[in-house]
Structure 1
Amino acid sequence: MASLHDSQLSALAATIDDAAERVAAMAEDIQARESEAATALYEAERSLQMAQRAIGRARRSLES
């Protein structure tokens, strides 16, 4: 069962990583003309990075 959960968490982590990269790219693209929107996107990227770390902690705790 732990293997199934690890697989699911791995897939979720990959999805979050992709979303974080896309959000960061969008923020960089609009930063010069839409600074408020870019700031919000950078905040979203940080939140996604925190989610990545939380998923990593969950995966490690399933290993033990």
Structure 2
Amino acid sequence: MDPDRAELSSVSTSLDDLSARVERLAGSLQRRRQDALAADLYEVERALRMAVRRLAQVLRRLD
């Protein structure tokens, strides 16, 4: 495997994991009625998901 591709794949996996963690934290805040903070974290989670999708596009182009 190309070293750049392997590194980008690892970054993508890490971002995916971070996104899931942020989503869980946002859900926890929402259950505690801290809706403004939860909304901010959901926005962060969406940005991370978009980054994962963009990296997937880059990885496909490297093939």
Give me the TM-score of the superposition, normalised by structure 2.
0.92
Matched with 1:21 is: 20
Match of 1:41 in 2: 41
How many pairs align?
62
Structure 1: distance between partners of 2:16 and 2:56: 12
Counterparts of 1:21 and 1:30, CA distance in 2: 14
Q: Unaligned stretches of 5+ in structure 2?
A: none
Between the two proteins, what is the percent identity of the paired residues? 34
Give the whole-Å Cα distance in 2 for the aligned partners of 1:5 and 1:59.
9
Task: Return the alpha-carbon distance in structure 2 between the equivalents of residues 23 and 8 of structure 1.
Answer: 22
The question of 1:60 aligning with 2:44 is answered no
Aligned amino acid, residue 15 of structure 1: S
CA deviation vs aligned residue, 1:3-59 (integer Å, no higher than 9, x gap): 111100110011101100100000000113210000000000000000001100100
> How many angstroms apart in 1 are the aligned matches of 2:57 and 2:49?
13
Q: How much is the aligned-residue C-alpha RMSD, in angstroms?
A: 1.1
TM-score (norm 1): 0.91
CA distance in 2, matches of 1:30, 1:41: 9
The match for 2:30 is 31
